[in-house]
Structure 1
Amino acid sequence: MSHSPRITCEIDENQIATVRLNRADKLNAIDMAMFKAINQITTELKNNKSVRAVIVKANGSDFCSGLDVKSLLTNRKDALKLLFKWWPTLPNAAQRFSIGWRDVPCPVIFAIHGRCWGGGLQLVSGGDFRIASPDANFSIMEAKWGLIPDMGGALAFRELMRQDHTMEMAMTAKVIDCETAKDYGLVTKIATDPYASAYELALECINRSPDVLAANKKLYHRTWWASQGKALGLETWYQIKVAIGKNRAIAARRERKPEEKPSYVARQFK
């Protein structure tokens, strides 16, 4: 795994990757180097078949205070690089910062503490689970700078929150506490030690076949807002792909003979 001044990534003996935002002196504010580092690591994790789960946390007092406005808004060249896209419906570099986590074919869990504002909130909304400490607070901060959320928020927020809650946060740039965020659907669970809780969830997930994890993630991302026909079709197709894989038989043996607990092979589902 690559390292940069902005993030680190370590994979442990359980094949759980821990990604850390590493700009504590700037409250992990997002600059061009942070965009590049996150987009690179999501690509690497997507292609690493041995990784079973990913946890994203942050060093310092806050998870992420949002965009480094001074850095990005005063450099038009960098701003254009983030917004540029070859085709309107394809994600640009700013949007990949959030939705790129959807393409990582294993559970992605964000462990959040302190401020999670603006681009930081859009970043965590791209994950599968969000576990936050009681002191965490959240804001769609872009309106403060005369902007709208444009890093995949239009996709993620509609899946997590009611429309009126989303619009209220986006229009006012208000800060909400952790309990309110959980009520809104932004937070999966509140825990005093979000990383420990995230790791516990990761261990629960990796007890199952990596193909099952990848198939479930892809199925629900592709069908949550799809037509009935597409949802049922993909459900059947993915079930066939999972059923004929080696890990299906290994999962059955693990259930029949838990004392043996054979290891899964590397992920085969695509």
Structure 2
Amino acid sequence: MTAPRVTVEIINQIAHVKLNRADKLNALDMAMFLAISRTIKKLRKNRKIRAVIVSGNGSDFCSGLDVNAIMKSPMSMLRLLFKALPWRANLAQIVSTGWQSIPVPVICAIQGRCWGGGLQIALGADFRFATPDSSLSIMEGKWGLIPDMGGTIALRELMAIDQAKKLAMSAETFNGEQALALNVVTHVTPSPLAEAQAWAEALLKQSPDALAANKKLYNKSWHGSQGWALFRESYYQIRILMGKNLRRKIYNQSHDAAQHKAFVPRKKW
């Protein structure tokens, strides 16, 4: 029996998502693309989870596209790239951009190789924790291709355009420390999975409504008009003020841990 390409375990309201193809360095075949897409859809609908941690089984996060596996079926590439509407994400792009549709913080724990499609997946998260010696690359250029999995959207918000072009055109590899200097990763640590767990647990103390609203506010307002940004600030704040979780957060701030009230499932954002 074939092992699932992605495993999901929810512990204490934190969803632990693991790319599960360690024997192939977690390379992306069609089954992996479909499994990630299904996982994102399920987590998006789960209003009880409070954070998501994405990691890879084995020594590597993801070494990129499994070209041989994809090319075995002529329809696979078409299936990856097809889109009914040009401005919507296709299957190849959903595995990166889809993490932003989940209204909770998504943290990627990167170790070993994080190349090509693997880096595109990680760029779709809200935070990236990496080991100092991890190996990252926009590797599509090595094969005469361009990055086409949605990571471009994240890169334009993370780094200077000349540096992004340099990485994409050269397909060079860079380590975790260099990635931090380029602002490609959020934090460098010898233990990214443990640090991601600690950060997720810290976020459990915050109102899930506030976390969801913050994620949506910044995603929609980082670019665009000042007027719409100001509108969203006011509108989202009113929604939070009308919810139970604000009152519970205020109560918890005024009492010790033994008297804390549990947050209710977040609003639908």
Aligned to 1:69: 67
Q: Give the alignment of 1:176-187 within 5 angstroms.
A: 176-187=174-185
Question: Whole-Å Cα distance in 2 between the matches of residues 268 and 50 of structure 1?
Answer: 10
**What whole-Å deviation, never above 9, does each CA across 1:217-263 have from its counterpart, x for those lacking one?**
01101111121011111111111111100101111100112341110
**Code of the aligned partner of 1:178:** G
Q: CA deviation at 1:159?
A: 1.1
Checking the alignment, whether the CA contact within 8 Å between 1:247 and 1:264 is kept in structure 2 is yes
1:144-183 paired onto structure 2 within 5 Å: 144-183=142-181
CA contact (8 A) 2:180 2:187 kept: yes
Shift of 1:196: 0.6
C-alpha separation in 1, matches of 2:34 and 2:155:
23
Residue 11 of structure 1 corresponds to 10
Return the alpha-carbon distance in structure 1 between the equivalents of residues 57 and 85 of structure 2: 36
Match of 2:239 in 1: 241
How far is the alpha carbon of 1:211 from its aligned partner? 0.5
Confirm or deny: 8 A CA contact 2:108 2:129 kept in the other structure.
Answer: yes
Q: Per-residue displacement from partner, 1:109-140 (whole Å, max 9, x unpaired)?
A: 00010010000000000000000112211100
CA gap 1:4/1:15 in 2 versus in 1, 3 angstroms: farther
Partner of 2:186: 188
1:208 matched residue in structure 2: 206
What residue identity is the alignment partner of 1:268?
K
**Superposed CA RMSD:** 1.2
Whole-Å separation in 2 of the counterparts to 1:4 and 1:122: 24
Equivalent residue in structure 1 for 2:255, among 257, 261, 266: 257
Task: Tell me the equivalent position of 2:93.
Answer: 95
Partner of 2:128: 130
Q: Distance in 2 between matches of 1:156 and 1:30?
A: 20
Q: 4+ runs of 1 displaced by more than 2 Å?
A: 73-76
The reply on whether 1:268 has 2:259 as its aligned counterpart is: no
Say whether the 8 Å CA contact 1:241–1:269 is kept in structure 2. Answer: no
- In the alignment, does 2:106 pair up with 1:112? no
Query: Are 1:4 and 1:37, in contact at CA under 8 Å, matched by a contact in 2?
Result: no
- The one-letter code sitting in structure 2 at the alignment partner of 1:261 is H
Residues 61-98 of structure 1: CA distance to partner in whole angstroms, max 9, x if unpaired? 11111000111234320111111111111111111010
In 1, Cα distance between equivalents of 2:3 and 2:214: 31
Counterparts of residues 18-97 of structure 1 (less than 5 Å): 18-97=16-95
CA distance in 1, matches of 2:32, 2:82: 17
Residue identity matched to 2:115 = W
Give the % identical residues.
51
Query: Is the CA contact (8 Å cut-off) linking 1:11 and 1:18 kept in structure 2?
Result: yes
Alpha-carbon offset, residue 204 of structure 1: 1.0
1:72 & 1:148 partners in 2: Cα distance?
17
| TM-score normalized by the length of structure 1 | 0.96
Deviations 1:147-168 (A, max 9, x none): 1000002211111121111101
Contact 2:133 2:177 in 1 (8 A): no
Q: Tell me, yes or no, if the aligned pair for 2:109 and 2:130 is still in contact at 8 Å.
A: yes
If the length of structure 2 is used for normalisation, what is the TM-score?
Answer: 0.97
Paired with 1:19 and 1:228, the residues of 2 have a C-alpha distance of 36
In the alignment, which residue of structure 2 is the partner of 1:228?
226
Given that residues 242 and 269 in structure 1 are in contact (C-alpha distance below 8 angstroms), is that contact kept between their aligned partners in structure 2? no
In structure 1, how many angstroms separate the alpha carbons of the residues matched to 2:3 and 2:146? 29
Which residue identity does 2:30 align to in structure 1? Answer: M
| Structure 2, gaps ≥5 residues long | none
